[in-house]
């Protein structure tokens, strides 16, 4: 075989080997590219899923917080309205005509005082109104069991506070209304506020 043919055969074999190597390299590149693309898509999908989960949790947290704040504000508003209702009731009691007011205070005081004597703290406005009640309760009492009316700043709204050497009984309108409020608030709230006003 001539050197020219040998050279042609070697070049031909080299070309085929180069093409085979190139084809294998392209195949490996395509495989790696496909694997890298799949890995990136999986990672993107995982991160997207995590981001969606995080966004959903954050959204749920914000909604729950807003709902909680709304319900708290609603509860505060309801309590303010209830406070106003009971304060108005106490004001109306304090502004009863004198005879009705005296009977109201006397009924509570007679039971609380029993045969005890002591000071009856009242506000200055009520001193003249309650003097006849004290006179009536003191009639027939021994000197050491007499009740003494002491006008001052307490109780502010009305009623009296019975103070003896051993104890103090608060018969003020403020305290009595607070007790009535505690007992009746759920019932009154049910009548005042529709049950569906919430979030």
Residues of the chain falling short of pLDDT 70: 1, 194-199
Instruction: Name the 3-class secondary structure at 97.
Output: coil
95 vs 66: CA distance, rounded Å:
43
> Hey, how many other C-beta atoms are within 10 angstroms of the C-beta on 18?
10
Tokens of 77: 């508003």
The answer to whether 162 and 79 are in contact (CB under 8 A) is no
30 vs 170: CA distance, rounded Å:
92
161 vs 144: CA distance, rounded Å:
18
Domains and CATH numbers, the chain: 97-191 (3.30.2320.30)
12 vs 2: CA distance, rounded Å:
15
Give the pLDDT confidence score for residue 29 in this predicted structure.
83
Give the pLDDT confidence score for residue 132 in this predicted structure.
92
Q: What angle do CA 23, 27, 29 make, to 5 degrees?
A: 115
Give the pLDDT confidence score for residue 196 in this predicted structure.
62
């Amino acid at each position: 075989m001539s050197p020219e043919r040998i050279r042609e055969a070697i070049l031909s074999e080299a070309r085929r080997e180069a093409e085979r190597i190139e084809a294998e390299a392209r195949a490996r590149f395509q495989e790696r590219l496909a694997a890298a693309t799949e890995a990136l898509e999986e990672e993107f999908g995982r991160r997207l899923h995590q981001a969606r989960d995080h966004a959903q949790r954050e959204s749920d947290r914000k909604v729950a917080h807003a709902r909680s704040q709304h319900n708290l504000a609603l509860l505060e508003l309801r309590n303010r309205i209830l406070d106003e209702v009971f304060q108005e009731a106490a004001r109306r009691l304090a502004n009863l005509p004198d005879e009705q007011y005296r009977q109201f205070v006397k009924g509570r005081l007679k039971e609380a005082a029993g045969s005890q004597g002591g000071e009856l703290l009242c506000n200055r406005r009520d001193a003249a109104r309650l003097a006849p009640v004290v006179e009536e309760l003191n009639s027939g009492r021994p000197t050491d069991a007499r009740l003494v009316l002491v006008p001052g700043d307490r109780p502010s709204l009305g009623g009296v506070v019975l103070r003896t050497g051993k104890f103090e009984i608060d018969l003020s309108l403020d305290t009595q209304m607070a007790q009535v409020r505690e007992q009746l608030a759920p019932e009154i709230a049910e009548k005042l506020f529709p049950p569906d006003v919430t979030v």
